[in-house]
Amino acid sequence: MSTTFLQLAPLCMLLSIVQFIAAVPWLVALWGISLTKDLAALAKGAGVAAVIGIALAFFLQTSSEPGAINLLGRFNASLLTLQIGLDFFVLAYYCMLTFWPKGGAVALAAFYEGIRQPMFWLLTFLGGLAMVVSIVIPYFTFGEDLKMVKEITYALTMIFPAIFGVISASISVSEEIEGRTAVTLLSKPISRRDFLFGKFAGLTLAGAFMTMLMGWVLIWVVLAKFNYDFQPGITQLPPDPAWVNRMVEETYGPTVAGDLLRGTGLWFRDLGEALPGLIIGFGQVMTLIAVSVALATRLPMVVNLTMCMFIYFLGHLAPILTAVSQDLRLVQFIAQLFEFLLPGLANFDVSSAIVRDVPLDPERYALYTFNVFIYATIYTSIALLGGLILFEDRDVA
């Protein structure tokens, strides 16, 4: 056997087995596989994954194009990322059903109801399609088209899940209360707190699922846009991270196996760059879903959607109105009142972190992301508490 195959075979087998291990939790949840009774089947699956890895090594040893091998490594790592994301949802619902069975059951039902809606997949498809189309649109920005694509794609990952979450919350909660379906649930017995918080948890996780899918597309779109605009001798390739170079040099060096490992590392570099912006955007999604759930306890769907749209625009405009109304005391007072009461949605804007010549310091960016998410969590808690107060004396019989 060639030296190339002897290097590739263990690496490809390891990558395939890791993919299989990452698939086990969601396969167990989807098909009801028992980890104890079906242990032999799982062992066979691991063996099949190892064989696939060996076959992949045979195929790759004939290739000498580093770009194609890098791309394959990125794609393999991207599939692993999706599987880990699915495992997160499985783990989240397992924990809720174990430690919060009544609310977890409501949350699981709301999650299933959300992702089974045609609206969920339509918005996900339209958002992904808009991202892909943004690759070929000319922006006339004198070499800054990549920044425009990043700003557009991040905005889409905030807007589409927020639209889905607000509409689903206003429909699900309002219809169950007004249609007297909630009477059946609340007589199980499920408390009003479990009902309201369970609805919020299920719809928020459905919004997070859409964010995950669109975020996966976002990373590929940014990579495709860079390659679409790349001009040899004019455009400079970004340097590979030091940790990726060190990992490759200490293992395989400039070989086919090293190129595959480098592609895997570069995907996780891209994921690390995109993750803070996705978390910040999801903070806005979570906040708006909480507001919609709280309002849905008292308002019908149409009024709820109108109020959420009003809150969205004022949440972005209130700081600007406060700044420009220095000489108009009454206007400034009203703007400050809105700024105090409504969520500061301008905090969730990541364009200032994207459209800049020098990248932000990773530690400061991570700290800012953490602070913004804490703010979203606090405002979400306040909104849900207000919704619970409104719901406590609501007649559902």
| Residues comprising the chain, all counted | 397
Read off the pLDDT band of 165 (50, 70, 90): very high
C-alpha 42/C-alpha 274 separation (Å) is: 34
What pLDDT does residue 211 have? 95
Residue 331 CB-half CA count within 13 A = 11
Residue 297 near residue 325 (C-beta atoms within 8 A): no
Angle value at C-alpha 122, between 120 and 128, nearest 5 degrees: 105
Mean pLDDT of the 105-125 span: 92
Mean pLDDT of the 118-127 span: 94
What pLDDT does residue 10 have? 85
Specify the DSSP class assigned to residue 2: -
Mean pLDDT of the 63-92 span: 88
What pLDDT does residue 84 have? 94
Residue 337 clears pLDDT 90, i.e. is over it = no
Mean pLDDT of the 336-365 span: 79
Question: Of 115-119, 203-207, 235-239, where does mean pLDDT reach its minimum?
Answer: 235-239
Mean pLDDT of the 142-158 span: 86
Instruction: List C-alpha distances in Å: 343 to 47, 308, 340.
Output: 52, 11, 8
Domain residues of the chain, as ranges? 66-233+262-392
Residue 230 CB-half CA count within 13 A = 11
Question: Of 78-87, 110-119, 218-227, 254-263, where does mean pLDDT reach its minimum?
Answer: 254-263
> Per residue in 39-71, pLDDT tens?
777 778 788 888 888 888 888 777 667 778 888
> 50: buried, middle or exposed (CB in 10 Å: 19+, 13-18, 0-12)?
middle
Best-predicted range by mean pLDDT (208-212, 256-260, 349-353): 208-212
What pLDDT does residue 220 have? 94
Residue 198 near residue 103 (C-beta atoms within 8 A): yes
Residue 397 clears pLDDT 60, i.e. is over it = no
Q: pLDDT: is 187 or 56 the higher one?
A: 56
Residue 319 in tokens: 């700081």
What pLDDT does residue 31 have? 72
What pLDDT does residue 180 have? 56
C-alpha 45/C-alpha 43 separation (Å) is: 5
What pLDDT does residue 206 have? 95
Residue 182 clears pLDDT 60, i.e. is over it = no
| Contacts by 232-239, CB closer than 8 A, 24 or more apart | none
Q: pLDDT: is 212 or 236 the higher one?
A: 212
Q: What is the largest CA-CA distance in the chain?
A: 82
DSSP string, 12-39: HHHHHHHHHHHHHHHHHHHH---TTTTH
Question: Of 20-34, 146-160, 204-218, where does mean pLDDT reach its minimum?
Answer: 20-34
What pLDDT does residue 71 have? 87
Mean pLDDT of the 380-390 span: 92
Amino acid residing at 204: T
C-alpha 283/C-alpha 108 separation (Å) is: 21
Residue 332 clears pLDDT 70, i.e. is over it = yes
Nearest partner of 88 among 250, 215, 186, judged by Cα? 215
C-alpha 355/C-alpha 277 separation (Å) is: 13
Residue 392 clears pLDDT 60, i.e. is over it = yes
Amino acid residing at 312: Y
Residue 351 in tokens: 């364009």
Residue 210 clears pLDDT 90, i.e. is over it = yes
The overall average pLDDT reported for the chain is 85
The percentage of residues in the chain with a pLDDT greater than 90, rounded to a whole number, is: 35
